[in-house]
Amino acid sequence: MKRQETVQIIQGRGCPICGSGNSRRLFRQSFAHVSGVRLLDGYDVVICEDCGAGFADNIPPQEAFDEYYRDLSKYENPGHDLEAIPVVEPRFRDAAELIGRFISSPDSRVFEIGCATGGLLKAVRERGFPDVLGSDPSPRCARAATQLYGVPAVVGTVFTVPIPEEPYDFLILTGVLEHIRDLERTVTRFHELLRERGRVYLEVPDASRYVPHLDAPFQEFSVEHINFFSRKSLTNLMQARGFRALETGHTVRPQHEVTCPCTYGVFERSADPTRIEKDTETEAGLRSYIEGCRVEDGRIRARIRQALAPGERMIVWGVGTHTLRLLATGGLNPEQVSLFVDSNPNCQRQQLRGVPVVSPAELRSRDPILISSRGFQREIQKQIQHQMGLENRLILLYE
């Protein structure tokens, strides 16, 4: 794996929905970075003046994201035993039920881009659509889909998956479009991969309905999320590029210990692009989210300040967005951190602000441990206390 520090190239970005260059900044998000794993130092959360879409501006080019997802996937569940077949989560069964209503026949060719370890495709197959194929940028994920569920999968992104001799009938992308810088090229790829009147199911977090207290403050502005969709802007993206909306809606998906408001749409390839309609819900939603997060952020900063006795240092568990944002914005003082711990092998043997990042197995120190995560707080607590039997004092930020 490449571990070189590369010079960060930052590019201004037109609106990914309508192409306009006029945008207004609502918020600046900042991140520290682990040595050798620099994707971005931050971005501007902006609103398009013309169509009202929300997106991250001043970010690296698409290639930097492609490299990041190939090398650093955190979606492969390294802790999971590939021998033990996990139960398909209810969120996958729910999505498969909705998707199944729009797949035209039992022999339809279904292709999922960003399939992670294949849970959704397994649920789709169980609904009577056996011809499924997945793809994921992470080779480990693609392998796991086959090992866990017998779901065939190839390695690739929306930009690199091969175009089949016989086009697909149905594409699925859930939790993917919010990660992609180049949405124009993405929808062009949908046209290349699908047959005439083929369909695509898209599901993304709903920025018009982000809720501050459902997750850690500003967590929706993560290192990896660079498009802030609403139902309207998702529909605009597709209808302006020759896809007709068959059904759109809202849903809520559980994700570990938090829940995520999402919006979805089923779109059909058709010849005629439709005019973009102004999105009036995203800006209001983002503004109220940002206000709510400021309050919650003040609370967790105070808790961190009060957690240590003078001269005491702590171990910080987790080096994701939660930690990187706090480090970059003064919420965590690296001088008070003796070690960082993370279960993702891709982050280990690195440094963060000069402090080593180690695996849980390497942990020997008795310093108190700050669990720097909302979505995995309970799971990490269980791992520390029950699986590892450690007696370090725990600093928890969330009830």
* Binding site residues, Zn ion, CB under 5 A: 15, 17-18, 20, 48, 50-51, 53
The CA distance from 381 to 123, in Å, is 31
The single residue listed with the structure tokens 């995560």 is 373
The least CB distance from residue 229 to Zn ion, in Å, is: 12
CA angle 21, 26, 32 (to 5 degrees): 100
Would you say 170 and 110 are in contact if contact means Cβ atoms under 8 Å apart? yes
Taking the least distance from each CB to Zn ion, the nearer of 234 and 326 is 234
Strand order in the sheet with 394-395: 350-352, 355-358, 337-341, 314-317, 369-371, 394-395
Least Å distance, CB 292 to Zn ion, is: 25
Q: What is the DSSP secondary structure assignment for residue 385, as one 8-state letter?
A: I
Closest approach of Zn ion to the CB of residue 247, in Å = 23
Question: C-beta of 21: minimal distance to Zn ion in Å?
Answer: 9
Query: Phi and psi at residue 69, in whole multiples of 5°?
Result: -70, -30
CB of 57 to Zn ion, least distance (A): 12
Give the nearer residue to Zn ion in terms of CB position, either 169 or 279: 279
- Edge-first strand listing for the sheet containing 132-136: 153-155, 132-136, 110-113, 168-174, 194-205, 258-269, 243-255
**Closer to Zn ion by Cβ: residue 15 or 395:** 15
CB nearer Zn ion, residue 53 or residue 202: 53
Which CB atom, from 73 or from 233, has the smaller least distance to Zn ion?
233
Closest CA to 357 of 36, 91, 101: 36
Nearer to Zn ion (CB atom), residue 17 or residue 176: 17
Q: How far is the CB of 279 from Zn ion (least distance, A)?
A: 8
